[in-house]
Amino acid sequence: MDNKRSISRKISHWRCMIRSLGILFWVPFLVNDTIIPSVACMSYVHYGADEHTYSGIVYNVQMLSPFLSTFWIYLHLIQNIDVKGNEVFYVTNRMKIGEICFFYILYSITNTIFFVWYVTLYPSLIWEWLHLVIIYFFMAGMAYFLSYLLRSISVAMIPTLCYSFLAIVGSGSKAPVWSFYEPEGMSAFMFGTKYVWFILMGVLFFALGGILNKRYTSY
């Protein structure tokens, strides 16, 4: 009975978190589940399952979805950091890491829906899906850490946006080690070398964010 009540309370809390985002909650769905698939569909109708369609999918998901993975997180943390009277959000639930993870998982799910279709066209894109899930984790940790480090959501968004922009436009034909952009998509080899470090950095960001969150007293 206690477990059922606990689960019910969590679900109710998650619903409240989603409702608090208002109409902006649907922005990632618009991009990941409408715009990108529509462009991919038009390319598929015109070119078929060729290199052009493949490159378009890889480019669009890497250009648009990584920064958007922080969109819900930053919106949610506004009330926890920027709004006066924010102490009420720390009375019963001081640590926000669980809420950040909830939005990370939910966002990953929204981008998985149409990846089922992408993978049926190009089976190798299963690695690209994993690539994005890793980058979302890294970006979520970065957003959590920067929000409590800088104590301002608008300021915290600046380095996140700059990194996302530079990762795309500053990479050229070969992505530097710090960039998540992979023009050919991620491979199994990259996962075992480069992207293990992105996972570790994501863990570090979450850990540091948790420490700063615990010490946060700017009410």
Please say if the pLDDT value at position 1 is more than 60. Answer: no
pLDDT digit string, tens, across residues 114-151: 999 999 999 999 999 999 999 999 999 999 999 999 99
Count the domains in the chain.
1
The reported pLDDT for the residue numbered 183 is 85
pLDDT digit string, tens, across residues 15-66: 999 999 999 999 999 999 999 999 999 999 988 888 889 999 999 999 999 9
135 lies in which domain range? 2-215
Can you say whether residue 93 is alpha, beta or left, with left for phi > 0 and alpha for psi between -120 and 50 degrees? beta
Instruction: Kindly indicate the confidence band of residue 10, based on its pLDDT and cuts at 50, 70 and 90.
Output: confident
User: Alpha-carbon distance 63 to 61, whole Å?
Assistant: 6
Please say if the pLDDT value at position 186 is more than 90. Answer: no
